[in-house]
C-alpha cells in the first residue's frame, strides 16, 4: 500500500511512526432506503456474512447505512483528496469496533528505553535513493498475512521487520509472539519492542510453518519455540520527528512502525494523506517514493489485514 505518513519513529533496526485522521460528517446526501438494503444484501453475499438473529442483522444494517452515508459524503466532497472510500470488508463496523478488533498497538505508559547509541545509518545521508521498494528484492518481504479478529498487529509488524533482515523468504511465526511474549497482551494488543526483546532472549523465532497462526492467544509451546528459524542480536531506535532518518533506515531495511490507522476503516485506494499522532496500529514499512500521478511523497506499508485489503490499497 502507498501511504503518506508523518513520521515519528521508534525502530530496531526496527520500530515506530504516526498517522491519523478523524472522520466528520457535514451535510448528508439523500440515499434511498431500498437501495441501501439491496447494497447491504449484496455486501453480505460478497463477504459471506451471516447473523445470529434479525436483531443483529438490523443493528449491522444501521451501522452499514451510517458508513455508506459517510462514504457518499466524503467521495462527493473529496476535491482535494488523493484517496477514496468504499464499502470494503469493514463496512458494518463502528469506528470503535474496528479499532478494538483490527489494530492492537499498545505502547506502555512508561516504555523501556535503550542505552543511547548512534543512529546506524547516519553517515549515509548522501547515499539514500529517492525511491525504494523492498518487495522487488527476492526474499525480503514475505506474503501478506491476516490477523483477522485478533489485535496482534504488533506481532505481524515485528516478524515483518525481522524477515526483512534475514531475507531468506521464510515467513516467521506471529503466533509464537502472541503466545509467548508475556509482557504483551496477545490479541489484546502489544508493543513491538517487547517482541524484539523476546526474540533476543529466546535466541530466535520459529517459522510460521512450525508454529502456525490460529487467531487466538494460547499457551506458549516452548518446545516448538526453541527451534529457531531466525535470530537477532539487538534493535535500535530511529531518531524521532525527522523523516530523513526514517528514509535512511528504510533504504537499508524494512522497519517496524506504529501508525494512526483510524482512516483506514473504509479506505479503498489512492494516497491517504491525512496524518495524526494517536498511534493505534503496527505495520512494516517496506519502501517509499513519490507518486507520478499526484506528486506526493509516500511510504509503502505491509499491513496484516489480508490479501484482499492489500490489493485494494496498492
Report d(CA 5, CA 218) in Å as an integer.
34
Distances (CA, A) of 209 to 95, 170, 179: 34, 9, 15
Using DSSP bridges, classify how beta strands 2-3 and 297-302 pair: parallel, antiparallel or unpaired.
Answer: antiparallel
Consecutive H or E run containing 285: strand 281-290
Q: Which three cell numbers stand for residue 196?
A: 524484539
Report d(CA 72, CA 204) in Å as an integer.
48
Which phi and psi angles does 36 have, rounded to 5°?
A: -65, -45
Q: In angstroms, what is the C-alpha Rg of the chain?
A: 20
Does the bond joining 16 to the residue before it have cis omega, within 30 degrees of 0?
yes
Annotated catalytic residues are: 153, 281, 303
Amino acid at each position: 500500500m502507498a501511504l503518506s505518513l508523518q513520521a515519528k519513529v521508534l525502530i530496531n533496526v526496527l520500530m515506530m511512526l504516526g498517522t491519523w485522521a478523524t472522520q466528520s460528517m457535514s451535510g448528508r446526501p439523500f440515499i434511498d432506503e431500498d437501495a441501501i438494503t439491496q447494497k447491504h444484501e449484496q455486501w453480505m453475499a460478497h463477504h459471506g456474512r451471516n447473523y445470529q438473529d434479525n436483531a443483529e442483522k438490523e443493528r449491522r444494517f444501521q451501522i452499514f447505512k451510517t458508513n455508506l452515508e459517510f462514504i457518499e459524503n466524503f467521495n462527493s466532497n473529496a476535491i482535494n483528496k488523493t484517496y477514496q472510500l468504499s464499502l470494503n470488508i469493514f463496512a458494518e463496523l463502528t469506528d470503535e469496533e474496528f479499532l478494538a478488533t483490527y489494530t492492537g498497538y499498545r505502547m506502555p505508559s512508561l516504555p523501556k528505553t535503550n542505552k543511547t547509541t548512534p543512529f546506524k545509518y547516519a553517515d549515509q545521508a548522501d547515499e539514500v535513493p529517492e525511491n525504494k521498494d523492498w518487495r522487488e528484492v527476492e526474499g525480503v518481504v514475505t506474503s501478506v498475512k491476516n490477523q483477522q479478529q485478533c489485535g496482534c498487529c504488533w506481532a505481524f509488524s515485528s516478524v515483518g521487520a525481522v524477515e526483512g533482515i534475514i531475507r531468506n523468504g521464510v515467513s516467521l511465526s506471529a503466533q509464537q509472539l502472541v503466545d509467548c511474549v508475556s509482557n504483551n497482551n496477545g490479541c489484546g494488543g502489544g508493543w513491538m519492542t517487547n517482541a524484539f526483546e523476546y526474540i533476543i532472549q529466546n535466541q530466535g523465532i520459529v517459522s510460521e510453518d512450525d508454529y502456525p497462526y490460529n487467531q487466538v492467544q494460547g499457551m506458549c509451546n516452548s518446545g516448538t519455540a526453541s527451534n529457531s528459524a531466525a535470530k537477532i542480536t539487538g534493535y535500535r531506535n530511529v531518531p524521532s520527528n525527522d523523516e530523513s532518518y526514517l528514509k535512511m533506515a528504510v533504504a537499508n531495511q524494512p522497519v517496524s512502525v506504529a501508525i494512526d490507522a483510524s482512516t483506514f476503516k473504509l479506505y479503498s485506494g489512492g494516497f491517504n494523506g491525512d496524518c495524526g499522532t494517536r498511534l493505534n496500529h503496527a505495520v512494516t514499512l517496506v519502501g517509499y517514493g513519490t507518486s507520478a500521478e499526484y506528486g506526493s511523497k509516500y511510504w509503502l506499508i505491509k499491513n496484516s489485514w489480508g490479501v484482499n485489503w492489500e490489493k485494494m490499497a496498492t
